[in-house]
Structure 1
């Protein structure tokens, strides 16, 4: 009898094939005390070096299947294995406690992964914990003399079922044989999800219990469009989903024709669909997918991927590369968003009980203006090569915003001593991610050129619910009618005061939210590059005037998320 399961739709498409349970070898070990600590650490060094060589070979083998961004994951893994801080802690653990290599590697890598997993206000960094776990698993396999599964050896159609998929797992997958992926863990911003989209493998993540619900070889359907997995489907269900898969591929072919098309509604209203990026190299994919610009460049990764504070010139080169890469289309850069939850080895920050509400982002920048001005000068210099906008994160009050703007003016003046007029056309905006800022949007809009609504944090703070905590994940409700009312207030306040309204959270690319946001008059939708063409296609079919009326009906009459969903589905047909 067929069994239906639900998860997060991570990569579009439909796959039908037998399940392939991806089960790791037993990496358990006995805890021992060692006398020769030097020899034990030498075992660690060899295991790490063997892992580096293995990853280098996997990367080489994947060059024909993956792009530059995806291949960069392996460089990141090699960097983790070469991290002197991690190796130093492992060495100290062995020398001070006389622990065996396996225990020392396990303890230290687990601590690193736990630290990243605790960064619940930043899904990208939180999901980097999987990278550390992947690296640790590889190193442990070498220490214990165990062989990891050879995914590259799969030579018949399968659906990969796993507790968690690592980047090196996906890099070895051949899309000719891997028809789908379903995992217990993961989110849409995990490397595994990103790589699945790149390889066009339908994927569902975060199903919680798929590995305990399916047996190796059982037939499965993976609906990566809706997040549905069906175990042991009936013949009729297989036929139904084969037809859906064929229809989807035809639809995807139509989307590809929209790469150079304008982002416009059925009734002729023009919008912008932009890409969220984390590195300058990501602009290549944004351009391929027809992005109208970059709506969010997460500049913190320039800091977090370094072993030193990046200089003005280093930052300038990165921003310049992104601006040039977008070929004259606008690039919005979010200023440094780091804090107590995202520690930098080279910039000690105070330990805090609740770093998500503490000393972070704009609060650090205002407290350390010289650090802030280094970034701002680099951005002003980059504006010589194309349109640049600067966006301040975590603004709570008008006073904070004015202080940030004043520091920008100082930085711009310093650059203009040698480059008169440079930076005068840089637009200044702010993230709306704190409920107080959303409520005070009318006042804040008078101070900026644009807002960008960061729905991930705004939802988290509005519902007082950590979105990384499974126990309260049901409170992540972008379609809650009260939250929709708050979003509409922000958009209306922006327009009434001459500011542009954008959105850069997951909600911007949500198919259920899109018609509502268009009805509210949101100007710019910034999302994963792979969602742009689908969104542009859907946008062409929606009438903004019609949906403006529906938004008013929802806010006036709906009381729950379910009621909103039912309403939207009924109107979309």
Structure 2
């Protein structure tokens, strides 16, 4: 065996010593017979409390050492532990005579199997539940939290599969790379590692077991390759991949490669990776990673921190996008998605707008406020009215402020249809290709975005054309922007800014610098005329 091919996650290529992680003991069996149901319920409650304490401690450490992605995953774990359906399943199993270990395993196993059968991003949640199951069983056995052990410098970690908790610990240990036999590029473990610039290759199959600990290996996340011939790995590692200079087309048209972030800390990482600014600051993450929505002062400081990282560039801050899989803290009942949810909570919305105005006056960079999930023109008008009121309030109080530019997200068929009118009312349009593809195709958020479906390609083309006709710039903020071939397609349509995960900035810059825009435009025209996804995929293989 010389090399194995899997699915690459992130960018970068490294060489190092292969180190296998020990397989966790996930046996639900207990020494001795179960105690009475009341005693087993007591054991369950004590183990749950210990698991919650472990998760909170780890989340606090992750916030410092790893950042937003890890913190969010661990917070989600804690929420699941108090899911009424989970509690009911455990209760029923204990009433059936099971020990707490077996009850917890039974409660989670059906969900794990169901998630995996569903596929897409839902399948990736099965690893979250495996992580929880392992933590709970260790707590019931009185064992210490799982450790990744002492790893040599520059280790390339190998595992059958990786749960999110272990990924957090590996990211904090600065491992060189990670390879797994199973797993998905959309799984939380992969997302955590990618956010820290760790090259990852997943889904290498059982053949990965032919690689022994101690072997010298090469790992290329772009090619999705693990090789026993490290000299064949030619990609640059994360530290060597930074491209700080501006890039542009062969004819001299400037192209911006910015970053998607969720905090000031991630903005700093983006700056280190050579980003030209922030194309998408997900402001709701400020609430999801704390006990609730931060007050006006705390929001202002977070926005200023991001602006100060890019004193000569634009920072596009998306207003709160709660709803769906991002519930609004302390909300009663369902909350409408995106800007509709903000308008439904006017006091909170006005507070955020004041924070944005204050940050625009204090921060070094140029702030644009972007409205998510727009479906109606009157939503933009309503936000302008709120913005007028916010600036009046700040002026009356003598607080320094500056009115930010306004942009909108195009991530619904309604926004595509309204793109000409929207472009005449705002300073920029931002394509959210993940949500746009799902809404156009009628799939769920758990499904992988199918951006090369002709209906999605045509929707993107129409939105960009409307903005171009109005003289309004367009940025793309979805995962598709980091795909080399799709990035060329976007440039062909007329997109001039691509916002990607911080670790993907260098590779995206290298890919776009010197691109022939006329060839990219021809590619876009042919892709728009395609009738099937396979046709579009074939065309993208010819991308300039």
- TM-score w.r.t. the length of structure 1 is 0.78
Which residue of 342, 345, 351 maps to 1:368?
A: 345
Give yes or no for the alignment of 1:483 onto 2:480.
no
Q: Deviations over 1:406-456 (max 9, x none)?
A: 2222222222223478323x1101110001211221111111111100000
Aligned to 2:355: 378
Give yes or no for the alignment of 1:271 onto 2:274.
no
Distance 2:305 2:248 in 1: 29
Aligned to 1:62: none
Aligned to 2:446: 468
Give yes or no for the alignment of 1:311 onto 2:284.
no
CA, structure 1 residues 50+129, in 2 after alignment: closer, same or farther (shift >3 Å)? same
Query: Map of 1:112-511 to 2, 5 A cutoff?
Result: 134=131, 136-145=133-142, 150-154=147-151, 160-169=158-167, 171-172=169-170, 180-188=178-186, 190-195=188-193, 198=196, 200=198, 202-205=199-202, 207=203, 210=204, 212=206, 214-215=208-209, 217=211, 222-228=219-225, 239=229, 242-245=230-233, 247-249=234-236, 253=240, 255-256=241-242, 258-259=243-244, 261-344=245-328, 346-350=330-334, 359-386=336-363, 387-419=366-398, 422-424=401-403, 426-466=404-444, 468-469=446-447, 473=448, 476-511=449-484
Give yes or no for the alignment of 1:514 onto 2:510.
no
How much has 1:183 moved relative to structure 2? 4.9
Distance 2:274 2:113 in 1: 37
How much has 1:337 moved relative to structure 2? 1.0
Distance 1:395 1:551 in 2: 26
Give yes or no for the alignment of 1:550 onto 2:523.
yes
SS of residue matched to 1:40: helix
How much has 1:105 moved relative to structure 2? 6.2
Distance 2:456 2:517 in 1: 20
Query: Does the 8 Å CA contact 1:272/1:292 hold for their aligned counterparts?
Result: yes
How much has 1:566 moved relative to structure 2? 3.2
How much has 1:154 moved relative to structure 2? 4.8
Q: How many positions carry a matched residue from both structures?
A: 532
Aligned to 1:569: 541
CA, structure 1 residues 499+128, in 2 after alignment: closer, same or farther (shift >3 Å)? farther
Q: Deviations over 1:55-78 (max 9, x none)?
A: 59x95xxxxxx9945167776688
Query: Does the 8 Å CA contact 1:165/1:192 hold for their aligned counterparts?
Result: no
Q: Deviations over 1:191-237 (max 9, x none)?
A: 5444256364x3123x3xx555543646887542133567xxxxxxx
Which residue of 60, 66, 71 maps to 1:70?
A: 66
Distance 1:530 1:516 in 2: 21
Q: Deviations over 1:228-271 (max 9, x none)?
A: 567xxxxxxx55xx4441x3139984x43x31x11222221112
Distance 2:413 2:75 in 1: 38
Moved more, 300-309 or 442-451: 300-309
Aligned to 1:353: none
Query: Does the 8 Å CA contact 1:335/1:393 hold for their aligned counterparts?
Result: yes
How much has 1:17 moved relative to structure 2? 7.1
How much has 1:277 moved relative to structure 2? 0.4
CA, structure 1 residues 468+3, in 2 after alignment: closer, same or farther (shift >3 Å)? farther
Distance 1:45 1:553 in 2: 56
Query: Does the 8 Å CA contact 1:152/1:173 hold for their aligned counterparts?
Result: no
Q: Deviations over 1:356-412 (max 9, x none)?
A: xx8222222222212211111111111112321111111112122222222222222
Distance 1:345 1:67 in 2: 19
Query: Does the 8 Å CA contact 1:396/1:436 hold for their aligned counterparts?
Result: yes
Distance 1:431 1:47 in 2: 42
Query: Does the 8 Å CA contact 2:69/2:195 hold for their aligned counterparts?
Result: no
Unaligned 5+ runs, structure 2: none
Distance 2:443 2:53 in 1: 42
How much has 1:569 moved relative to structure 2? 3.0
Query: Does the 8 Å CA contact 2:164/2:188 hold for their aligned counterparts?
Result: no
Distance 2:445 2:163 in 1: 21
Aligned to 2:9: 9
Unaligned 5+ runs, structure 1: 60-65, 231-237, 351-357
Which residue of 25, 28, 47 maps to 1:44?
A: 47
Distance 1:250 1:555 in 2: 36
How much has 1:457 moved relative to structure 2? 0.5
- TM-score w.r.t. the length of structure 2 is 0.81
Question: RMSD over aligned Cα, in angstroms?
Answer: 4.4
Distance 2:353 2:342 in 1: 11
SS of residue matched to 2:196: helix
